[in-house]
Amino acid sequence: MRRVVMLVDNAVEGDSRVQKTARSAADAGWDVTLIGCAHVDAERRWRLGDAEVRVLPLAAVAASGRDAGSRDGSGLRGVSGLRSVSGLRARLVARGGLPLRAARLARRPVEHAEVRFWRARLRDGAWRRLEPGLWDYERVAGPVVDDLRPDLIHAHDFRMLGVAARAVDRARAAGRDVKLVWDAHEWLPGARPRRDNARWLPAHLGYVREYVGHADAVVTVSDTLADLLVRDHALPDRPTVILNAPIAATTETSAPDLRKRCGLPPDTPLLVYSGAMAVQRGVDTVVEALPLLPGVHLALVVADPAAAYVRQVVARAARHGVGDRVHVLPYVPHRQLVAFLATADIGLIPLHHWPNHEIALITKFFEYAHARLPIVVSDVRTMAETVRATGQGEVFRARDAADLARAVRAVLADPARYRAAYEGEDSPLPGWTWEAQAERLDALYRRLLTPIR
């Protein structure tokens, strides 16, 4: 049995794409170990079907930063002028001499100077100085990958690409031929930086450029993103598109009922938003639309109902006088989600315009579709074009509450018209299943690991 090691920079549990990839590969006969790296107290282990999951604890980024100079081989040291300005800024903040916002503004010129300096000295390798915490993933996961002696490494998202590439190099130096698949979950140039500093994005862009050429194959989440990756990295082959589609055949015999959990009768209109909560996700626009939709309720299915931003949204609803029509519920297991959502009337995707929002059919799009929900989506390009083409919902102008209310009213007036898009020979649903994606991924693995005669 050929061994596949998958790598991801999180604790696995909240990442349905990663879980589905590992489980379906194991179901197809591969010996799969999924390695997550996260800030946990101790290593965690469990099984996803026949796949083994190991979540490894990350040490503090500060500690790895102290080691970075000895790991990168550059022999370069920081610039005293840059360090002295940074140190002064830190001391002023610590002593209360600068408020937080002013401190952030004050550090930007220094950060931009750091980027220019290290890019000039190290080019794409500047990430070693600008984002040395990336070494934490190498230090924690690298030895484990080596011990497992995989035939193929599947690196999820951008942080684990370098870890996988270096593991492949070590294996090949030892005489073992290991293949590398990079799974690009998002378009990095269009991502919101994970931290509020000017170093984050250029550092990670350089990191990806340094290692993307090591990949034997690239997979990604949409045709649009596949085209962007070819353009950005001059890839010799177009990435294989593996959609973030849900599992059609579930082993769950029952699932909770969303409407019942909200305490609503069958004739009460119910909108649902399922997924991550952040300003750019547009849920505020939905709350502002509710006063224009008398009697309509909203369910928010989120990872942490007590999270600060979720509380802000609920408070905003109360200020608008619609607090009693907003219901916050926790996630259910992803294999139950489609059945859970099915008792709503409309699935909402109210995204703001942001580069990565324009290019993908996101996971909740497929989950709503398999729940046979009409979809009301903002005019982000790829999903808006799909909804218009299939007739499965309505499109509204992003951040426009009145237009969102118009779209909701249109769907509620004739829901059968929109649900009909999921029926008959022209239904897109058969191709929008994880089973179909898993077959494509399995074929890619087999092609990479079949000797050329």
- Whether residue 437 lies inside any domain: the answer is no
Digit-coded pLDDT (tens) for 153-162: 999 999 999 9
Task: Please give the mean pLDDT across all residues of the chain.
Answer: 90
Strand partners, 218: 182
- Whether residue 332 lies inside any domain: the answer is yes
What is the spatial distance between Cα 290 and Cα 318, in angstroms, rounded to a whole number? 11
Q: ∠ CA(452), CA(239), CA(360), 5° rounding?
A: 160
- Whether residue 194 lies inside any domain: the answer is yes
More confident residue, 449 or 335: 449
Given a cut of 70, is residue 188 above it in pLDDT? yes
Given a cut of 70, is residue 134 above it in pLDDT? yes
Domain boundary among 201, 216, 241: 241
Digit-coded pLDDT (tens) for 65-90: 444 443 444 434 444 444 444 554 55
Q: SS3 for 28?
A: coil
**Among 213, 199, 210, which Cα is nearest to 118's?**
199
Examine the domain organization and report whether 309 and 214 are in the same domain. Answer: no
Examine the domain organization and report whether 51 and 183 are in the same domain. Answer: yes
Given a cut of 90, is residue 61 above it in pLDDT? no
Listed ranges 72-76, 100-104, 372-376; the one with the highest mean pLDDT: 372-376
Examine the domain organization and report whether 319 and 170 are in the same domain. Answer: no
Given a cut of 60, is residue 204 above it in pLDDT? yes
- Whether residue 223 lies inside any domain: the answer is yes
Given a cut of 90, is residue 294 above it in pLDDT? yes
Examine the domain organization and report whether 216 and 316 are in the same domain. Answer: no
- Whether residue 106 lies inside any domain: the answer is no
Examine the domain organization and report whether 340 and 235 are in the same domain. Answer: no
pLDDT, average across residues 13-23: 93
Given a cut of 70, is residue 318 above it in pLDDT? yes
Given a cut of 60, is residue 252 above it in pLDDT? no
pLDDT, average across residues 222-242: 96
Examine the domain organization and report whether 324 and 297 are in the same domain. Answer: yes
Looking up tokens 């909240």, which residue turns up? Answer: 14
Q: What predicted TM-score, i.e. pTM, was given to this entire model? A: 0.83
Structure tokens at 98: 């600068």
Predicted confidence band at 335 (pLDDT cuts at 50, 70, 90)? Answer: confident
| Strand extents, DSSP E, 373-448 | 375-378, 393-396
pLDDT, average across residues 98-107: 61
Find how far residue 137's CA is from the centre of its chain: 18
Examine the domain organization and report whether 295 and 355 are in the same domain. Answer: yes
Examine the domain organization and report whether 181 and 268 are in the same domain. Answer: no
More confident residue, 72 or 234: 234
Examine the domain organization and report whether 236 and 266 are in the same domain. Answer: no
- Whether residue 83 lies inside any domain: the answer is no
- pLDDT of res. 67: 47
What CA–CA distances, in Å, run from 113 to 31, 77, 85, 128, 448? 47, 15, 11, 16, 43
Given a cut of 70, is residue 93 above it in pLDDT? no
Examine the domain organization and report whether 233 and 156 are in the same domain. Answer: yes
Domains held by the chain: number? 2
- Whether residue 95 lies inside any domain: the answer is no
Given a cut of 70, is residue 64 above it in pLDDT? no
Examine the domain organization and report whether 186 and 306 are in the same domain. Answer: no
- pLDDT of res. 105: 61
Examine the domain organization and report whether 231 and 281 are in the same domain. Answer: no
Domain with 174, as residue range(s), is: 3-60+131-241
What sign has the CA pseudo-torsion 136, 141, 143, 146? negative
Given a cut of 90, is residue 264 above it in pLDDT? yes
The CATH number linked to 325 is 3.40.50.2000
Domain boundary among 241, 270, 288: 241
- pLDDT of res. 75: 38
Find how far residue 103's CA is from the centre of its chain: 30
Predicted confidence band at 103 (pLDDT cuts at 50, 70, 90)? Answer: low
- Whether residue 55 lies inside any domain: the answer is yes
More confident residue, 105 or 31: 31
- pLDDT of res. 71: 45
pLDDT, average across residues 288-317: 97
